[in-house]
Structure 1
Amino acid sequence: MAFADLLATTRHSTVHLELRDTYGIGDEAAEFDMWRTGWRPEPDPATWWIDFHTWVRDATARGVVLRRARVVSEPASAYIRYEHDCTYQNIAAGEEVRWLPRRRASDLALPGNDFWLFDGRLIMWNHFTGEGASAGPEMDERKDVAKFCAAAFDTVWERATPHEEYRI
């Protein structure tokens, strides 16, 4: 099932846990390269709004709560600084975003991969190559694993700093 369809059928909540310090995915990789040379996105949503933002806006308009937590190394990688600069876009679409320095996560039991968890029951694992390119998603409906992911996310969320307060 495509991500857009998963989000469209979500009733209550979607959480996303990110654990990597760099990603190299499609068009985003090109934008990151531009960012590294000084380009910054415009504040006007018309210049950066993509389908993903519409999917998030539509879900939150239905009452779905979308939360994203990022566990990051400090000092932050260039990619994390880029993500931080662009996170206002996620927030404008309706996501809540928090950041947790990796050193504050040392005593947490975390899954080995990034994931999306839909309504606390359906996991979409995000697998990546060592260079940060997508190695493809994997769907997982194991109840015990979904419960583990939900608990891990909630623990990160409780410790993490809201985007508006997190400084890089």
Structure 2
Amino acid sequence: MCGEITIKTCYEGIEGQNMEISDGTIDITASDDGLNAAGGNDQSGMGGFGEDMFSADEDAWITISGGTVTIDATGDGIDSNGDLTVSGGNIFVSGPSDNGNGALDYNGTATITGGTLVAAGMSGMEQNFGSDSTQGSLMMNLTDNQSGEITLEDADGNTLVSYTPMRE
């Protein structure tokens, strides 16, 4: 049986130097970052609810190879001060409504080789997966705030993935 984690309200959802998610169900609602591989570089663990002071940390990383991860974060949805690797799973991120954060935020490299990831949020700090990825990714920047369901269909009109973010 797979594990289940539900975090209904918090500042940082799950934070640590390294994160490996391979199965189970994780549901996070955070007032800052949903997943944060900080390597001890931010101030959130010190009671600081102000601006995080991040720097690159090659020893910090997030790897997702399976499971279902749903994140509602008003800060960064997924934030790695090192690398971000996705090879499986279903990941849904409702990211920030301000341009000072991003649905995906990483300081190393980001690679996707499998799985499904839908991340929505403001585009002031948008990041997409890098050229080492073997799976395609799509990034759209819109000129106005949008709300409602995001749906990706194949050429025959079959729904491949559908997600409704929590915010515009």
TM-score when normalising by structure 1: 0.31
**Larger RCO, structure (CA 8 Å, separation 6 or more):** 1
Considering fraction of residues, name the structure with more strand: 2
